[in-house]
Amino acid sequence: GGGEQDMTTQQTTSPSLKYFFVFNPTYGQKEGREHEKILFFYPPSVEIGQQTNHVGLSEALIYFTKTFSPNKPCESVRRQKNTVSFFNPEPNIWAVMFVNNPRSTRVSKEEGTVYDYHENEIDDTLLQSVVRHCCYTFRLFNGKAEEIIKKQGVEGLRSRLDCFLTPYLHYLPFDQLDIFSSLDGVQFFSPIDKNVYLRIQSFINLTEDSFSNKLQYAAFIYGDSLVWSGLEQEDMVLLYAFFSSPLSRFDAQQQQQQQQQDGNSEYSAAFPTRIRGEKGGKGGYITG
C-alpha cells in the first residue's frame, strides 16, 4: 500500500575533482585574448571558451572579495554542487580547484529521481591544504613560476605545469580527502640501531661526496618512515607526502619516452623520475 509507494533506494557519491586550473590575471588583457590568462586547465577536454569563462568568474570573485578584505584574499566558496578553493602561491599566479560535493541519489515512486547535495561535507581548510600541497610540490621539483618564465618563457611554464599536474591530479585520492590532514606530519623511524644509523649516514656522506657537483640534498626513507634528511623541514614534509602517496608510483621515464616518440625532443621532465630497484626488490630512488 502507501508504505510500498514511499520506499526509496539511495546511492551516495564520493567527492571528486571537477576542475583545476592555474592562471595569471595580468595576461590576456585585450578583448578576445582572455584565454591567454590560462596557464593550465584540467580536464583538457573542456572547451576553451568554457575554460576562459571559469577563469574569468574566478578572477572576478577574487577581486570582488578583495574590496572587503584587501589583505586576505578569498580562499574558498561553497556552492550547492561543488566547493571551490583558491590559492595564490606567488605574485600574479592563482590556482583554483573545483571539487564535486558528495551527492545522494534517491529514487522513489512518488518523486522519481531526486539528488541531494551534501555541501557541508568537504572541509574548506582541508581542500585549501590539497591545493597548497599541489602548488608547493610543483615548486619543489620545478622552481618558481617566475623563474621558469625567465628561462623558458610562458610556454615553458605551461608545458611544465601540464607534465607535472596532469599525473599529479590523476593520482589524488579525492574519495579520501581526510588523508591530506596527515600530510603535514612526518613519521620518523624509531628506534634504530646506532650501528645501522651510522652506516646509513656513512652511505649518504659517501654518495654526497661522490656526486658533489650534482647532488645538493639527500634524504633516506625506509618503508613509510624517515631515517635521515638533509633538507629544509618544509621541503622534507612535501617530499615525504609525495613518497607516502600513490603519486610516487607514476613513471615519469615512461612519460618522457612517450613525449620523445611524439616528436617533442625538447621535453624536459617536470615530474621527478622514478628509478626502480633490482628485479624482485623493493628498493629504488626518485630524482628530480
Question: 3-state secondary structure string, the chain?
Answer: CHHHHCCEEEEECCCEEEEEEEECCCCCCCCCCHHHHEEEEECCCCCHHHHHHHHHHHHHHHHHHHCCCCCCCCCEEECCCEEEEEEEEECCEEEEEEEECCEEEEEECCCEEEEEECCCCCCHHHHHHHHHHHHHHHHHHHCCHHHHHHHHHHHHHHHHHHHHHHHHHHHCCHHHHHHHHHCCCCCECCCCCHHHHHHHHHHHHHHHHHCCCCCCCCEEEECCEEEEECCCHHHHHHHHHHHHCHHHHCCHHHHHHHHHHCCCCCCCCCCCEEEECCCCCCCEEEEC
Name the more confident of 76 and 9.
76
Q: Are 97 and 83 in contact (CB under 8 A)?
A: no
Where residue 2 falls among pLDDT bands split at 50, 70, 90?
Answer: very low
Paired strand residues for 78: 83
C-alpha to C-alpha distance for 19 and 8, rounded to whole angstroms: 32
pLDDT of residue 181: 53
**C-alpha dist (Å) from residue 123 to 133, 206, 255:** 16, 45, 34
CA 270 to chain centre: 13
Name the more confident of 165 and 225.
165
Q: What is the mean pLDDT of the chain?
A: 78
pLDDT at 281 over 50: no
CA dihedral 160, 138, 124, 175 (to 10 degrees): 80
Lookup result for grid cell 533506494: 9
Q: Which of 51-55, 119-123, 197-201, 270-274 has the lowest mean pLDDT?
A: 270-274
pLDDT of residue 259: 53
Q: What is the tens place of the pLDDT at every residue in 191-223?
A: 677 778 788 888 888 888 888 777 777 888 776
C-alpha to C-alpha distance for 264 and 18, rounded to whole angstroms: 29
